[in-house]
Amino acid sequence: MRGRKKLISTILIQQIANGIMVGSIYALIAMGVAMIYGVMSVPHFALGAKAMFGGYVAFFMTAALHQTYWMALAGSMVVLAVLGLGVERWIFRPLTKAPPINGFISAFGLLLVFENFALIVFGSAYRRILSPYDRQMINIFGANLTMQRLLVVLIAIALMVALHVFITYTTLGTAIRAVAQNRRGALLCGIHTERIAGVTMAIGSALAGVAGALIGPVAMVYPTMGDTLIVKAFVITILGGMGSIFGAIVGGYILGLIESLGAMYISVDYKDAFAFAVLVVVLAIRPQGLFGRSHR
């Protein structure tokens, strides 16, 4: 009887560890979605594909250029930040004055374009990112993890803290918040809103890119790897409140934990459905999301 109890608590700890790892990845992408939505009012679906590009950048940097995994992480952030700037400048900026649906459609179109681009250029084969941390096993309170999984969580948390400091204490961060609160007001105060949009896109894309580079060694890298991630990131953004970065972080971990604990206590078969069940419940009770401002 005692053995059985110990077994159950070990599974519980293992599932919590699983949930936190997945939640960290979700949160990274959801933060990007929330920031970009806050500043530009565009639901940026293509962030899923950008996570995929981040994975490929890390793959090529480690496999072809023989860089260390840390360099690959940094590389994926830089490359994706540049891509984010480009997308803002050449795709979203010309649409600023167009009806919101155009931004929505172009974001969705970008996802398809990026995925098929990856399919044509990188091929359909799955790639394995070699990370030195993927072979080291550690045991935390009875849960078995690879170092890589721990690294995912630690880097995600570090990035969240860094983003928080940036948004709260720097002039640029304050400007981003100002534009998110009131675009016209910010413009009247002399804030270059287009430049702010560019910076936001660069940061959001870099976060997605590093998420892809982090999950790469855990799973694998392939053209459609961003699909599930972006769907979950959107559920999280709605759950946390559209535009709320804090909501995205909390929502990410809530979703990760619900998925893995639901898998344990209810059924693994419905693991992916839990996200949507939670979404339905939250929308029914609190339509503005957990941390969203209500618009009345």
Binding residues for another protein, per CB under 8 A? 7, 10-11, 14-15, 18, 21-22, 116, 119, 123-126, 128, 137, 144, 146, 215, 218-220, 222-225, 227-228, 259-260, 263-264, 268-269, 271-272
Q: How far is the CB of 17 from another protein (least distance, A)?
A: 8
Q: How far is the CB of 253 from another protein (least distance, A)?
A: 15
Tell me how far CA of residue 257 lies from CA of 15, 48, 208, in angstroms: 8, 21, 20
Q: How far is the CB of 90 from another protein (least distance, A)?
A: 24
Q: Are the C-beta atoms of 85 and 153 separated by less than 8 Å?
A: no
Nearer to another protein, 64 or 125 (CB): 125
Q: How far is the CB of 110 from another protein (least distance, A)?
A: 16
Per DSSP, which regions of the chain are E strands?
137-140, 143-146
Residue 221 is classified by DSSP as B
With CA atoms as reference, report the closest residue to 32 among 247, 204, 231, 209: 204
Nearer to another protein, 35 or 278 (CB): 278
Q: How far is the CB of 224 from another protein (least distance, A)?
A: 5
Nearer to another protein, 70 or 126 (CB): 126
Token pair in block for residue 277:
């069940």
Helix (H, G, I), strand (E, B) or coil at 146: strand
Separation between Cα atoms, residue 192 and residue 196, nearest integer Å:
6
Nearer to another protein, 14 or 200 (CB): 14
Q: How far is the CB of 189 from another protein (least distance, A)?
A: 44
Nearer to another protein, 179 or 211 (CB): 211
Separation between Cα atoms, residue 236 and residue 200, nearest integer Å:
19
Separation between Cα atoms, residue 245 and residue 4, nearest integer Å:
41
Nearer to another protein, 68 or 124 (CB): 124
Q: Can you give the length of the chain in residues?
A: 296
Q: Are the C-beta atoms of 290 and 282 separated by less than 8 Å?
A: yes
CB-based contacts of 115-122 (< 8 A; 24+ apart in sequence):
115/49, 115/52, 115/223, 115/224, 115/226, 115/227, 116/223, 118/49, 118/52, 118/53, 118/56, 118/223, 119/223, 122/56, 122/223
Nearer to another protein, 225 or 236 (CB): 225
Q: How far is the CB of 115 from another protein (least distance, A)?
A: 8
